[in-house]
């Protein structure tokens, strides 16, 4: 019987993850570290959005093909030098006649490892901590473009049984006898849904930890429908293409600010506590008393909220609203005791006084339905509040879980590098190793973030060398031939 596109993609996903499972087996075969009083356990970590590498098949999937199918060959599509030269358009998806989301050109895309640069990742601190504390860590790469429930179903129903069997076959004890989940940012949404599903295979799940996860949305996504992505627009040349590509990715529809119904149901709790929500975070540009609910777009005469020429999918928005409400809803009390939220708040140099550095709300103007990249974007960021620079503090704690919400305050908190921060690692340690007195995690040095000007200069250099990059078939920023081309002054 011929496998469907979805079945083939899942089978390929398992095949490509076997390499990471084999690396995990080497971990579990190591003896316990007697210097750490932490009990032996497995931890699955879900990186944040765009932090998993995506590889694309070199040939298209053929429907109805029977008999043994040779394994697909893959090339990295996210993220490489070519990604910034128009290659990001290959991330686009489309829905087939039976409703399955397929990849552009029916060339299967798989998340096969975490994004890294120069051998470093944004979660090296977590890796280092786990290595020293009897934690067998599996970093689970996931396709952040897809519907969240698809990723959850694959992880629970297909990956975990496959993972358990492969690990035990190599003589390791059951890796699911005691295990936990950690999710950073968007990855925390996956962990949230897995816990809520309460599948029999996760019955030994001890803890689920979200780090900087936006339970009630954030400002960044709504800009992308009208502006594309700055670093992928290639100085505006591909802006319309990127708007259309982004509109085709169903996973991103769950990142909006909360809908009005969720706001009303949680308003009292959201307005209380140390980091209250200022007000409903999305309002009309002209009449700020008028709510602009991202999940319930209205019309104003012939004017609309979302563009009509990019493929923006109202049906997918409705689907995402249901998923969003699940993520933000009160949790079964039997599961809630396992759920922990960690949020970051940047402070002054005193490590105590919060800094208002994170966008808290937007205003939204009406647009004509034929809006395109040549028009002025209708979204404007407004009030800043305490947070980690990307996620406001009020969105990163499920209000019905306040008893298990940990705030890490520090002058050097940065959303992208939360998993390297000693304060975050200490909070994780207290949850996963409650029997431990004090074992201080080591602070992992973080790279100095590039300034906007430095990024622009790099993209300009890349555009000037586009033919060389393509001719040499450079697939990674870490390739020696790319580093040689880049030169020591630009590294």
What is the DSSP annotation of 295-353? TS---BTTEESS-SSS---HHHHHHHHHHHHHHHSPPPHHHHTTEEEEEEEEB-TTSSS
pTM above 0.85, yes or no: yes
Distance CA(455)–CA(84), nearest Å, equals 11
Average pLDDT score over residue span 375-400: 96
At residue 480 the predicted structure's pLDDT band, cuts being 50, 70 and 90, is confident
Which pLDDT belongs to residue 436? 66
In this predicted model, what pLDDT tens digit does every residue of 11-54 receive, in sequence order? 999 999 999 999 999 999 999 988 888 999 999 999 999 999 99
pLDDT tens digit sequence for 116-167: 876 788 999 999 999 999 999 999 999 999 999 999 999 999 999 999 999 9
pLDDT score recorded for residue 265: 96
Q: Report the pLDDT value the prediction gives residue 355, as an integer from 0 to 100.
A: 97
Among residues of the chain, what percentage have pLDDT more than 70? 91
Query: Of the candidates 304, 355, 345, 296, which has an alpha carbon nearest to the alpha carbon of residue 322?
Result: 296
Residue that the structure tokens 């620079």 belong to:
389
137, two tokens: 């860590």
Q: What is the pLDDT of residue 476?
A: 73
Contacts of 14 (CB under 8 A, 6+ apart): 158, 159, 162
The average pLDDT across 440-452 equals 58
For residue 284, what pLDDT is reported?
A: 97
Cβ proximity of 283 and 363 under 8 Å? yes
Averaged pLDDT score across all residues of the chain: 92
pLDDT at 452: 55
- The C-alpha atoms of residue 240 and residue 245 are separated, in whole angstroms, by 9
E strands present in 82-164: 93-95, 101-103, 109-114, 135-139
Per-residue pLDDT, 359: 97
CA dist 254 and 318 (Å) reads 10
Q: What is the pLDDT of residue 455?
A: 59
End-to-end CA distance of the chain: 51
Greatest Cα-to-Cα distance within the chain, rounded to the nearest angstrom: 70
Q: Is 449's pLDDT higher than 70?
A: no
Q: pLDDT confidence of 410, banded at 50, 70, 90?
A: very high
Mean pLDDT on 424-428: 96
Could you tell me which of 15, 356, 50, 412 has the C-alpha nearest to residue 232?
Answer: 50
Report pLDDT digits (tens) over 93-122: 999 999 999 999 999 999 999 998 767 889
Q: What is the pLDDT of residue 35?
A: 86
Quick: pLDDT tens for 220-254: 999 999 999 999 999 899 999 999 999 999 999 99
Q: How much is the average pLDDT of 321-349?
A: 97
pLDDT at position 467 is: 67
- Judge whether residue 433 has pLDDT over 90: yes
Per-residue model confidence (pLDDT) at position 124: 94
pLDDT, mean of residues 466-483? 72
**Predicted local distance difference test score (pLDDT) of residue 462:** 64
What is the spatial distance between Cα 345 and Cα 412, in angstroms, rounded to a whole number? 9
pLDDT at 302: 97
Whether 447 shows a pLDDT value over 70: the answer reads: no
Task: Return the pLDDT at 158.
Answer: 98
């Amino acid at each position: 019987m011929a496998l469907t596109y979805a079945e083939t993609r899942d089978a390929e996903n398992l095949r490509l993850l076997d390499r990471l499972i084999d690396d995990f087996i080497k971990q579990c075969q190591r003896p316990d570290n007697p210097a750490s009083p932490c009990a032996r356990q497995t931890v699955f970590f879900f990186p944040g959005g765009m932090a998993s590498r995506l590889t694309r098949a070199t040939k298209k999937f053929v429907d109805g093909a029977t008999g043994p199918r040779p394994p697909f060959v893959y090339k990295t599509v996210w993220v490489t030098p070519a990604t910034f030269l128009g290659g990001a358009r290959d991330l686009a998806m489309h829905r087939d006649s039976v409703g399955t989301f397929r990849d552009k050109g029916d060339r299967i895309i798989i998340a096969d490892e975490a994004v890294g640069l120069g051998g470093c990742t944004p979660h090296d601190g977590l890796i280092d901590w786990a290595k020293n504390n009897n934690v067998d860590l599996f970093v689970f790469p996931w396709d952040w473009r897809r519907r969240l429930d698809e990723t959850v179903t694959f992880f629970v129903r297909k990956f975990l049984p496959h993972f358990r069997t492969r690990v035990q076959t190599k003589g390791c004890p059951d890796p699911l006898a005691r295990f936990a989940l950690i999710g950073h940012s968007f990855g925390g949404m996956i962990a949230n849904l897995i816990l809520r599903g309460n599948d029999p295979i996760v019955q030994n799940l001890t803890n689920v930890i979200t780090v900087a996860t936006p339970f009630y949305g954030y400002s960044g996504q709504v800009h992308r429908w009208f502006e594309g992505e700055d670093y992928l627009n290639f100085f505006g040349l591909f802006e319309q293409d990127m708007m259309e590509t982004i509109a085709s990715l169903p996973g991103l529809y769950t990142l909006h600010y909360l809908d009005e119904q969720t706001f009303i149901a949680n308003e009292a709790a959201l307005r209380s506590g140390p980091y209250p929500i200022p007000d409903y975070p999305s309002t009309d540009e002209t009449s700020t008393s008028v709510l602009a609910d991202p999940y319930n777009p209205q019309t104003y005469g012939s004017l609309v909220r979302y563009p009509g020429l990019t493929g923006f999918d109202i049906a997918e928005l409705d689907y995402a609203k249901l998923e969003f409400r699940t993520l933000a809803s009160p949790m079964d009390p039997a599961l809630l005791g396992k759920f922990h939220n960690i949020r970051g708040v940047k402070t002054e140099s005193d490590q105590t006084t919060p800094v208002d550095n994170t966008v808290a709300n937007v205003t939204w103007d009406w647009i004509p339905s034929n809006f395109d990249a040549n028009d002025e974007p209708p979204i404007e960021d407004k009030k800043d509040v305490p947070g980690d620079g990307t996620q406001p503090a009020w969105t990163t704690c499920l209000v019905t879980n306040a008893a298990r919400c940990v705030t890490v305050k520090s002058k050097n908190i940065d959303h992208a590098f939360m998993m390297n921060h000693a304060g975050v690692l200490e909070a994780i340690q207290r949850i996963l190793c409650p029997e431990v007195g004090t074992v201080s995690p080591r602070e992992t040095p973080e790279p100095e973030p590039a300034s906007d000007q430095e990024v622009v200069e790099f993209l300009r250099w890349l555009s000037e060398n586009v033919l060389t990059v393509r001719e040499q078939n450079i697939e990674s920023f870490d390739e020696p031939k790319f580093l040689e081309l880049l030169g020591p002054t630009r590294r």
